[in-house]
Amino acid sequence: MTDLSKYRNIGIFAHVDAGKTTTTERILKLTGKIHKIGDTHDGSTTTDFMEQEAERGITIQSAAVSCFWNDHRLNVIDTPGHVDFTVEVYRSLKVLDGGIGVFCGSGGVEPQSETNWRYANESEVSRLIFVNKLDRMGADFFSVVDQVKKVLGATPLVMTLPIGREEDFVGVVDVLNRQAFVWDDTGLPENYEIQDIPADMVDDVEAYREELVETAVEQDDDLMEAYMEGQEPSIEELKRCIRKGTRDLAFFPTFCGSAYKNKGIQLILDAVVDYLPAPNEVEPQPLTDKDTGEETGEVAIVSADEPFRALAFKIMDDRFGALTFVRIYSGKLNKGDTVLNSATGKTERIGRMVEMQADERNELTSAQAGDIIAIVGMKNVQTGHTLCDVKHECTLEPMIFPVPVISIAVAPKDKGGSEKMGIAIGKMVAEDPSFQVETDEETGETILKGMGELHLDIKVDILKRTYGVDLVVGQPQVAYRETITQAIEDSYTHKKQSGGSGQFGKIDYRIKPGEAGTGFTFSSSVVGGNVPKEFWPAVEKGFASMMETGPLAGFPVLDVEVELFDGGFHAVDSSAIAFEIAAKGAFRQSMPKAGAQLLEPIMKVDVFTPEDHVGDVIGDLNRRRGMIKDQQAGLTGVRIKGDVPLSEMFGYIGTLRTMTSGRGQFSMEFSHYAPCPNSVAEEVIAKAKEEKAAK
């Protein structure tokens, strides 16, 4: 199959528990890919195949499956909803052409769906909206549509209306074709009848259809004029307009149903084929300069006749070996080809290529532009690397990953475990770029860093079960930083005379606080050659190398500007090394005088609580030194947004559940660094000194 217009690369994303994985299961059942439907409640779904996923009933890593509907090939990626795994959503959106945003009929637009929606907006991905779980208590399709407008600022285009509410939900009305789809009680997706619209809904359907037609014809001036003059556009013309508007993100076709009860899924599949773009209809990926990361003005045109270009967006280790998931943007790839990894400059030979069926695979001999495939056994490829034709080197726009904010120290329980742990952690870091590892040189401890408590919890669990490494786990640690608050002018001389050639370097410098988020910046205003130009980089290197350990408690230093304005050198004894040592000495001498200050990570926290617990939740956030920014009343409760220091948020989910009788939810993501109050800073510094002394 080579006709690109018959391809759809789509992702399914939403808040935790809105029903993404169940929706994916139903799609696979309808397209004939599976015969027995799995269920997240008992851990038997196709895409949640990790033990940890089956047990917790959540999706942790995005899984890819391919299936067919109406002669079209759908590559579907089921993504996680939990905020600790947003990196999975982000990288999936990067390689998709369209998506289905799933919202819970009773929960509406929840905190995480907002984050995912924002990611999708940034990646400019066309989407359909599916309001799920309409058979549940308190489900209300119309209020969710309202929330999409208010909370997400998006324009939903209502394509289907529900027939019946809550447990009386039996089917949907297709507004465009004026048909009612009613399912029987067998729960099978194929057992439905097309009927006349129920009499009590006729007026509603006409009102929504008029709105739909008016919104759609705005995409075509000629049709709009004809419509104004009373000419009704044909279904074909309307579909063409809806397709264009969906592709341009002017609106989002909105459907309703119940994935669990198998009602309404066919219409979504039809809509994926009718309205979501094919790979060659989306804006092509820009190519960037390998060294600067700037766009070069060229793009990766989606066509099998172009040179080969692909992006590795996910690496997974399983029982068959290392799998590299690749989205091919242009050209063809055959088994046995040699491709270039532009990030490392090395070539790799393509051994086995497979099409993924969640955790099963079908061997392929060739693939082409638009395909999402997995390659087995690539050695030096990491997430975000570009694979390209050896003769046409290029770099696709890379992925940007969030910085980890929480860390734990781990050690293997027995001596023999450390090598095993090293190999396992190496594989896990390759799979998940938001998970980082470093070794504390002084204690030899291994420090795992991640996006949140659940993230690290799962990583430790994977180490234990998948790789058989038993660990001793320390308390979670916050990634503090240090900075300075005062400008200071100072001078430092390094000289050493003892046999042989000496060392001499004198520097006069100013150190001052930089703009927030600038890190470390260095400049030189030396005139007259007092410090020769060739030694400036050595001075910069000396200061930069010291920024890793601050003067207060040894945390990395942020937002400092250093200016070298004068100094002195010796014709024989001066060298780059001498000036580097001088800069290191200068850092140690001057930083404690410049009003050093401890910074802590502040998290953007989004809490959802039933109305009767709002006071308790706000009071608790205030006790945690939180700043409340905003409150929004929704249908089923109130959302409270605020900034809270990460150090105060450990174990918060337990407290929130107790306060709200299990109905509260929250999500948080890193926002910025802010100065620590003195009382907190003193405690952190004292603890850091104690640990140092103990070492």
d(CA 516, CA 527): 29
Q: Was 133 annotated as part of a binding site?
A: yes
* Strands ordered across the beta sheet of 171-174: 160-163, 171-174, 179-183, 192-195
Q: Was 146 annotated as part of a binding site?
A: no
Listing DSSP states for 258-287 in one string gives BTTTTBSHHHHHHHHHHHSPPGGGSPPEEE
Strand residues in 378-527 grouped as ranges (E):
386-389, 395-396, 406-412, 436-439, 446-450, 471-473, 477-478, 481-484, 488-496, 503-513, 520-524
d(CA 68, CA 27): 10
Q: At residue 14, what is the residue type?
A: A
Q: Was 500 annotated as part of a binding site?
A: no
How many C-beta atoms lie closer than 10 Å to residue 187's C-beta?
A: 12
Q: Was 18 annotated as part of a binding site?
A: yes
Q: The tokens of 392 are what?
A: 């046409």
Q: Was 140 annotated as part of a binding site?
A: no
Q: Was 215 annotated as part of a binding site?
A: no
Q: Was 424 annotated as part of a binding site?
A: no
Q: Was 613 annotated as part of a binding site?
A: no
Q: Was 263 annotated as part of a binding site?
A: no
Q: The tokens of 535 are what?
A: 């030694």
The backbone torsions φ and ψ at residue 254, rounded to the nearest 5 degrees and listed phi first, read -120, 130
Surface-to-core class of residue 150, CB atoms within 10 Å of its CB (0-12 exposed, 13-18 middle, 19+ buried): exposed
Q: Which residues pair with 564 in a beta bridge?
A: 509, 524
The backbone torsions φ and ψ at residue 445, rounded to the nearest 5 degrees and listed phi first, read -70, 150
Q: The tokens of 657 are what?
A: 């559940």
Q: Was 134 annotated as part of a binding site?
A: yes
Q: Was 630 annotated as part of a binding site?
A: no
Q: At residue 562, what is the residue type?
A: V
Q: Was 81 annotated as part of a binding site?
A: yes
Q: Was 40 annotated as part of a binding site?
A: no
Q: Was 21 annotated as part of a binding site?
A: yes
Q: Was 221 annotated as part of a binding site?
A: no
Q: Was 643 annotated as part of a binding site?
A: no
Q: At residue 111, what is the residue type?
A: P
Q: The tokens of 543 are what?
A: 């200061």
- Tally helices (H) and strands (E) across the chain: 16, 38
Do 66 and 356 touch, CB atoms closer than 8 A? yes
Q: Was 120 annotated as part of a binding site?
A: no
Listing DSSP states for 12-75 in one string gives EEESTTSSHHHHHHHHHHHTTS-SS---GGGT--SS--SHHHHHHT---S-EEEEEEETTEEEE
Annotated binding site: 14-21, 78-82, 132-135
Annotated binding site for GTP: 14-21, 78-82, 132-135
